[in-house]
Structure 1
């Protein structure tokens, strides 16, 4: 086996890899409760068959019941034993997808894969059905020369917060045990430059209710001495940031450490920031994204303009999402946010905070043997060294993997790039980059098997 052999095989396999990705995208496997759950069953069955055809002899669709008594979504669990003395690698990806969003905002139908300018568009084309195909493709490329044991875990509920993930790990503890875990659910630095995700921010969210009256009153007769709940909620939310846009909640971990420079022009283009909008926060831009906290107001219950009346609104609710830096304890961050909101209640308004979801941050060791093998594989596949990057978003289950399997090396890789628009309309994967991802994973597995 040589690098040239694997490169040639990857190119030969890629048309079928693309075709199978298109078939997966056509299955609208949205895991949100409001959508037809049968599509998740269809997706799981299709993924299971792909891994059977890729040479894994033990493949099944399984599910567990979560702590709340609700059954989890179907997951695919597959296995191929390791040769004597060889390591076992756990390959993770998820087959569920986000809702399509506004159909009118899509240039092509969300569940009809469409190629434009070298990119394949469709919901799940990048997040994360391309991750599934990266695993399938690498197994096809290596075939009988795989050389390592492989366990596959393709989850069906990642997009709704993986509610049964921890239970799944505990139920299948021995079957999921591995020396190296490859999570294909992140991003590369940009098209042409690979990335290895070495840090992830954690998550704390909550719902805030602010009440100032026991019922609505006429704004002309009572307005003035009493400020409405929406105005007071706005004042409360405004206390979460200082004048520069830094998070102003005391007691949160924040550092200016950033391994790479993220040019502001690139960030503006990647995020679609409008001309004239000033970026928030201070310090290196990459640190503001990866190693400092961020708070967003993601939901607000308010009377719509069309249904408004001349009344002083008595109560308001808001949903806050806070990303926490690596090294931050989620419980401590939750307490800090709660205390800040209650302490800063404007004009003595009654503020109630209901805790929501929390998730641990993640920091990977950068010099493990598995990380060195991954750097070599990515450099070989792309012809340029990978960037060690952080991700501002959260993948809470990675912390669960690290806790349950403390001896395993966790590698967070991905197929996305800044133009992929995961979770948004016109999601896409760059087909040339996907081929490199398949090659890189095949090289990595071969390296871990000590065959390259």
Structure 2
């Protein structure tokens, strides 16, 4: 079987892959330099650059992007006249949240119950390791049959748009015939999946001010306008009674036609507590992949442990809005801003700042690249056909690449299946998924080159 040497090579490289992932996970590469050292992100960027050089990549460069972070680029020349494929991953990670809530240190890769635990193990440092495994397997089997470009982003989780703006200013850099984004995941472990839809996003910081300073609630409460209460009313206006997102002027009735996501399976994947209802209307797929969804991701106000009996003078929140393909992220931002301003009660002063924004994405699944990936997935996952799914999250670069290179075929695969618990405590990756997807990517590159 022609694919057998590739599968055997990837299997033999898995111990090395674990060591490399452990080295990467050890970097506390959160691109929030007010809270995490810039040196940690710079160290992860150097690691990625050194890894590409070790694999024979040329033109390896650490790029300073406009948002103050670094992305890593390299190019590996293929045979003359070969197609070009861009492979994407990101080395920045989400904060670990409650480190005491982890069962093992978040920045120390730990094996437990057949999985490897650590922040970024699946999202998306494991994606970079997947690309390296696929390329090594091809080299061992006779060579890489396409020209490969690799880009490793340093601020994807922050949504600050550094790489998007860099790509727009240097459009020749990432140009390719096909683009593999290694930052999504299978619908579930063992079920090969390509993500064909991504919601876009916008992030706004909203601040409400009502008083020059806090006041004693016993002396002034009841007449003095409470900024926190005003903010709560504003935020509550973003949800209907059933929990559906309600932003004035923003349509919320889209439908999903891809893989079905059963409610009981979603409750299990999301770890919804017994007796707690899901929010919204329509199918789970409608709510996750075809309709807007608002989330209040943080509020600045006194914690319960530090609270005093006071009327609050100021309060602020960070509001995320995910929007489906077909909805312009800029227009969604305008509508959300207008909604927040119009719903602020009592004449309170409201200030709104845009923090991040990304476009939605829908793939063309009829392209040759999708056929090559389906054939590769069928070999890497015997007995399973490749499925199409959506993802409620955003990868802002996808929309930028689709606009810059309208003829490029964009595929999204990766290691962030539901058990990975990305962005939560105890994030992990399945080494079996890492192995199978590395085989699939190698076979895809070979099949795409021959197609």
Shorter-chain TM range is over 0.9
Aligned residue number for residue 135 of structure 2: 139
Change (3 A) 1:12 1:305: closer
Distance 2:392 2:301 in 1: 29
Shift of 1:272: 1.8
Aligned residue number for residue 273 of structure 1: 272
Q: Tell me if the contact between 2:159 and 2:357 (Cα under 8 Å) persists in the aligned partners.
A: no
TM-score (norm: length of structure 1)? 0.93
Q: Tell me if the contact between 1:138 and 1:441 (Cα under 8 Å) persists in the aligned partners.
A: yes
Aligned residue number for residue 50 of structure 1: 51
Shift of 1:320: 1.1
Change (3 A) 1:157 1:346: closer
What does 1:44-83 align with in structure 2 at a 5 Å threshold?
44-54=45-55, 56-66=56-66, 71-73=68-70, 75-83=71-79
Change (3 A) 1:379 1:96: same
Aligned residue number for residue 121 of structure 1: 117
Aligned residue number for residue 31 of structure 2: 31
User: 1:2-45: CA deviations, max 9, x gaps?
Assistant: 12232222222323223322232233333320322223333223
Q: Tell me if the contact between 1:162 and 1:397 (Cα under 8 Å) persists in the aligned partners.
A: no
Shift of 1:410: 0.8
Aligned residue number for residue 318 of structure 2: 319
CA root-mean-square deviation:
2.1
Aligned residue number for residue 339 of structure 2: 340
Q: Tell me if the contact between 2:211 and 2:225 (Cα under 8 Å) persists in the aligned partners.
A: no
Shift of 1:361: 0.7
Aligned residue number for residue 292 of structure 1: 291
Change (3 A) 1:206 1:221: same
Distance 2:340 2:311 in 1: 22
Shift of 1:355: 2.9
Distance 2:110 2:322 in 1: 34
Shift of 1:59: 4.8
Query: Larger deviation: 192-201 or 57-66?
Result: 57-66
Shift of 1:170: 3.9
Shift of 1:49: 2.9
Aligned residue number for residue 385 of structure 1: 385
Give 2:148's match in structure 1, choosing from 140, 150, 161. 150
Distance 1:57 1:232 in 2: 55
Distance 2:61 2:287 in 1: 40
Does residue 410 of structure 2 align to residue 413 of structure 1?
no
Distance 1:341 1:41 in 2: 37
Q: Tell me if the contact between 2:84 and 2:177 (Cα under 8 Å) persists in the aligned partners.
A: yes
Distance 1:22 1:219 in 2: 52
User: 1:148-196: CA deviations, max 9, x gaps?
Assistant: 1111111222233254213431454323221001110111111111211
Shift of 1:362: 0.7
3-state SS of paired residue (1:423): coil
Query: Larger deviation: 190-199 or 377-386?
Result: 377-386
Distance 1:352 1:48 in 2: 41
Aligned residue number for residue 104 of structure 1: 100
Aligned residue number for residue 189 of structure 1: 187
Change (3 A) 1:212 1:292: same
Aligned residue number for residue 445 of structure 1: 445
Shift of 1:412: 1.0
User: 1:410-439: CA deviations, max 9, x gaps?
Assistant: 111111210112122211100111100100
Q: Tell me if the contact between 2:52 and 2:60 (Cα under 8 Å) persists in the aligned partners.
A: no
Aligned residue number for residue 369 of structure 1: 368
3-state SS of paired residue (1:115): strand
Distance 1:372 1:214 in 2: 63
Give 2:173's match in structure 1, choosing from 168, 172, 175. 175
Q: Tell me if the contact between 1:63 and 1:71 (Cα under 8 Å) persists in the aligned partners.
A: no
Unpaired runs of at least 5, structure 2: none
Does residue 56 of structure 2 align to residue 41 of structure 1?
no
Query: Larger deviation: 31-40 or 426-435?
Result: 31-40
Aligned residue number for residue 200 of structure 2: 202
Aligned residue number for residue 264 of structure 1: 263
Aligned residue number for residue 165 of structure 1: 163
Unpaired runs of at least 5, structure 1: none
Q: Tell me if the contact between 2:10 and 2:435 (Cα under 8 Å) persists in the aligned partners.
A: yes
Aligned residue number for residue 422 of structure 2: 422
Change (3 A) 1:449 1:97: same
TM-score (norm: length of structure 2)? 0.93
Distance 1:61 1:348 in 2: 52
Q: Tell me if the contact between 1:296 and 1:320 (Cα under 8 Å) persists in the aligned partners.
A: yes
Change (3 A) 1:36 1:249: closer
3-state SS of paired residue (1:24): helix
Give the count of matched residue pairs: 446
3-state SS of paired residue (1:433): helix
